[in-house]
Structure 1
Amino acid sequence: MVNADVTLHDVVRLLADNEGEARRTLNMVPSENAMSGLAKLPMLLDPAHRYFFNESDHPDRWHFRGGRRVHELETGLAVPLLRELGRAEHVSVRPLSGLNAMTLVLAALGGEPGSTVVTVAAENGGHFATPDVAARLGLGVEFLRGSGPHALDLDHAAELLARVRPSLVYVDQSHCLFPIDVASLVATVRAVSPETLVHVDASHWFGLVLGGAFRNPLDEGADSLGGSTHKTFPGPQKAVVLTRDAAMDRRIRDTQDYLVSSHHFASTIGLGIALLEFRDFGGPAYARAVVENTRRFGRLLHDRGITVAAADRGFSAGHQLWLDTERDGVAPKVAADRLHAAGLRVNFMAGLPGFTGQGVRIGLNEATYQGLAGDDFTELADVFAAAVRDSEPLGGLADRVASLRTRTRVGAPVDSTSSLFENALALCADSLRTTQVAAPSPQGVTS
Structure 2
Amino acid sequence: MAQPVETLDDVLRILGEHEDHAHRTLNMVPSENAMSGLAKLPLLLDCYHRYFFNEGDQAERWHFRGAQRLRDLEMGLTVPLLEELGRARYVSVRPLSGLNAMTLALATLGGEPGSTVVTISPDNGGHYATPSVARRLGLRIEFLRGLDPHTLDFDHAADLLRRVRPALVYVDQSHCLFPVDVARLVATVRAASPETLVHVDASHWFGLVLAGVFPNPLDEGADSFGGSTHKTFPGPQKAALLTRDPDIERRIRDTQGYLISSHHFAATISLGMALLEFRDFGGADYAKAVVANTREFGSLLTQRGTTVVAADRGCSAGHQLWLDTEADGVPPREASDRLAQAGIRVNFMAGLPGFAGQGVRIGLNEPTYQGVTLNDLPELADIFTAALRGTTPAARLADRTAQLRRRPRFGATVGAGSPLLRGALELATNALLSEQVNSPNTVPESV
Normalised by the length of structure 1, the TM-score is: 0.97
Contact (CA 8 Å) 1:90, 1:242: kept in 2 or not? yes
Corresponding residue of 1:198: 198
Counterpart mapping for 1:36-435 below 5 A: 36-409=36-409, 412-435=412-435
**CA 1:386–1:134 in 2, change beyond 3 Å: closer, same or farther?**
same
Q: Deviations over 1:101-142 (max 9, x none)?
A: 000000000000000000000000000000000000000000
Query: CA separation in 2, counterparts of 1:264 and 1:440?
Result: 27
Find the residue that maps to 2:146 and give its secondary structure.
coil
Contact (CA 8 Å) 2:186, 2:222: kept in 1 or not? yes
**CA 1:407–1:83 in 2, change beyond 3 Å: closer, same or farther?**
closer
Query: CA separation in 2, counterparts of 1:207 and 1:172?
Result: 16
**Letter of the structure 1 residue corresponding to residue 370 of structure 2:** Q
Query: CA separation in 2, counterparts of 1:412 and 1:213?
Result: 20
**Letter of the structure 2 residue corresponding to residue 431 of structure 1:** A
Query: CA separation in 2, counterparts of 1:78 and 1:407?
Result: 29
Query: CA separation in 2, counterparts of 1:374 and 1:245?
Result: 41
**CA 1:5–1:273 in 2, change beyond 3 Å: closer, same or farther?**
closer
For structure 1, the residue ranges without an aligned partner over 5 or more in a row are 442-447
Sequence identity percentage:
71
Query: CA separation in 1, counterparts of 2:176 and 2:157?
Result: 19
Contact (CA 8 Å) 1:127, 1:173: kept in 2 or not? yes
Query: CA separation in 1, counterparts of 2:423 and 2:47?
Result: 17
Contact (CA 8 Å) 1:37, 1:412: kept in 2 or not? no
Query: CA separation in 1, counterparts of 2:425 and 2:57?
Result: 30
Corresponding residue of 1:16: 16
| Cα distance, 1:416 vs structure 2 | 3.2
**CA 1:48–1:321 in 2, change beyond 3 Å: closer, same or farther?**
same
Query: CA separation in 2, counterparts of 1:3 and 1:60?
Result: 51
Q: Deviations over 1:247-286 (max 9, x none)?
A: 0010001000111010000000000000000000011111
Query: CA separation in 2, counterparts of 1:411 and 1:119?
Result: 36
**CA 1:26–1:440 in 2, change beyond 3 Å: closer, same or farther?**
closer
Query: CA separation in 1, counterparts of 2:147 and 2:136?
Result: 29
**CA 1:85–1:148 in 2, change beyond 3 Å: closer, same or farther?**
same
Find the residue that maps to 2:30 and give its secondary structure.
coil
Contact (CA 8 Å) 2:51, 2:66: kept in 1 or not? yes
Query: CA separation in 2, counterparts of 1:210 and 1:371?
Result: 20
Corresponding residue of 1:445: none
Query: CA separation in 2, counterparts of 1:103 and 1:411?
Result: 32
Query: CA separation in 2, counterparts of 1:270 and 1:205?
Result: 20
Contact (CA 8 Å) 2:281, 2:411: kept in 1 or not? no
Normalised by the length of structure 2, the TM-score is: 0.97
| Cα distance, 1:440 vs structure 2 | 6.6
Query: CA separation in 2, counterparts of 1:95 and 1:389?
Result: 42
| Cα distance, 1:403 vs structure 2 | 1.4
Query: CA separation in 2, counterparts of 1:408 and 1:234?
Result: 15
**Letter of the structure 1 residue corresponding to residue 199 of structure 2:** H
| Cα distance, 1:23 vs structure 2 | 0.2
**Letter of the structure 2 residue corresponding to residue 313 of structure 1:** R
For structure 2, the residue ranges without an aligned partner over 5 or more in a row are 443-447
| Cα distance, 1:407 vs structure 2 | 3.7
Q: Deviations over 1:177-206 (max 9, x none)?
A: 000000000000000100000000000000
Corresponding residue of 1:439: 440
| Cα distance, 1:408 vs structure 2 | 4.2
Find the residue that maps to 1:305 and give its secondary structure.
coil
**Letter of the structure 1 residue corresponding to residue 47 of structure 2:** P
Contact (CA 8 Å) 2:277, 2:283: kept in 1 or not? yes
| Cα distance, 1:428 vs structure 2 | 1.1
Q: Deviations over 1:66-88 (max 9, x none)?
A: 01111100000000000000000
Q: Deviations over 1:265-315 (max 9, x none)?
A: 000000000000000001111111100000000001001100000011000
Contact (CA 8 Å) 2:282, 2:410: kept in 1 or not? no
Corresponding residue of 1:444: none
**CA 1:5–1:132 in 2, change beyond 3 Å: closer, same or farther?**
closer
| Cα distance, 1:233 vs structure 2 | 0.2
Query: CA separation in 2, counterparts of 1:145 and 1:401?
Result: 40
Contact (CA 8 Å) 1:277, 1:413: kept in 2 or not? no
| Cα distance, 1:3 vs structure 2 | 6.3
